[in-house]
């Protein structure tokens, strides 16, 4: 990380954007720091991503339950306090949630 002075973020004051999934909706609150994107993301119940993602992430589940499937068929479930990490172009993945989820994501 570089070119990021010390700062704090009150996520309630960051404008949100809406992103439709194959089903459901994702709401993102995003901060950009040089090449680093930091997000607070909320998935609605029934959300399923509309694509296989190849972007690397460090993702922490704050609330709810996140189901992530890798292109090779492996499946993982995150619950509050659990996280995953994956590098750019390492393993295509897509996520969904039957109940809704709130996530903190750095990519």
Domains of the chain: 18-106 (2.60.120.10)
Q: Which long-range contacts (CB under 8 A, 24 or more apart) does 15-24 make?
A: 20/50, 21/47, 21/48, 21/49, 21/50, 21/96, 22/48, 22/49, 22/50, 23/47, 23/48, 23/96, 24/48, 24/96, 24/97
* Strands 101-106, 57-64: pairing kind: antiparallel
Q: Please write the tens of the pLDDT for every residue from 48-92.
A: 999 999 999 999 999 999 999 999 999 999 999 999 999 999 999
Question: For the chain, what percent of residues have pLDDT higher than 70?
Answer: 100
Alpha helices in the chain (DSSP H): none
Residue 9 has pLDDT above 90, yes or no: yes
Predicted confidence at residue 25, as pLDDT, reads: 98
Predicted confidence at residue 2, as pLDDT, reads: 86
Predicted confidence at residue 41, as pLDDT, reads: 98
Average pLDDT over residues 2-14: 93
CA dihedral sign, ordered 50, 56, 59, 65: positive
Residue 83's φ and ψ, nearest 5 degrees, are: -145, 170
């Amino acid at each position: 990380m570089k070119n990021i002075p010390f700062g704090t973020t009150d996520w309630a004051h960051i404008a949100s954007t809406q992103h439709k999934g194959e089903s459901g909706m994702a709401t993102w609150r995003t901060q950009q720091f040089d090449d680093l994107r930091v997000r607070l993301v909320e998935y609605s119940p029934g959300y399923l991503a509309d694509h296989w993602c190849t972007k690397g992430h460090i993702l922490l589940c704050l609330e709810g339950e996140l189901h992530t499937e890798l292109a090779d068929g492996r499946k993982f479930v995150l619950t509050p306090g659990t996280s995953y990490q994956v590098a750019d172009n390492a393993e295509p993945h897509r996520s969904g949630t039957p109940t809704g989820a709130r996530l903190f994501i750095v990519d």
